[in-house]
């Protein structure tokens, strides 16, 4: 479970970096929302696996 949580955190950071370099015309709100959701899910999984205490 820890690997899944860490992978989700890394995926959220990568999506965040990608959203910075998209063109202005491109709607970034769904990508930022997806990155934030992955971040929250990754933190939740790490807490549930008792890695962060």
Give pLDDT tens digits for 33-50.
Answer: 999 999 999 999 988 887
Task: Please give the Cα distance from 34 to 32 (Å, whole number).
Answer: 5
Rounded to an integer, the average pLDDT of 13-22 is: 90
Calculate what percentage of the chain has a pLDDT beyond 90. 47
Task: Please give the Cα distance from 9 to 43 (Å, whole number).
Answer: 7
Task: Please give the Cα distance from 21 to 3 (Å, whole number).
Answer: 28
Task: Please give the Cα distance from 28 to 3 (Å, whole number).
Answer: 27
What does pTM read for this prediction? 0.82
| Average pLDDT of every residue of the chain | 89
Place of tokens 């970034």: 28
Q: Identify the pLDDT of residue 49.
A: 85
Calculate what percentage of the chain has a pLDDT beyond 70. 94
Residue 33 tokens, joined: 């929302």
């Amino acid at each position: 479970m820890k690997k899944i949580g860490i992978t989700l955190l890394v995926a959220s950071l990568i999506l965040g970096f990608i959203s910075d370099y998209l063109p202005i015309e491109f709607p970034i709100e769904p990508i930022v929302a997806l990155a934030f959701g992955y971040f929250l899910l990754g933190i939740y999984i790490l807490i549930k696996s008792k890695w962060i205490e």
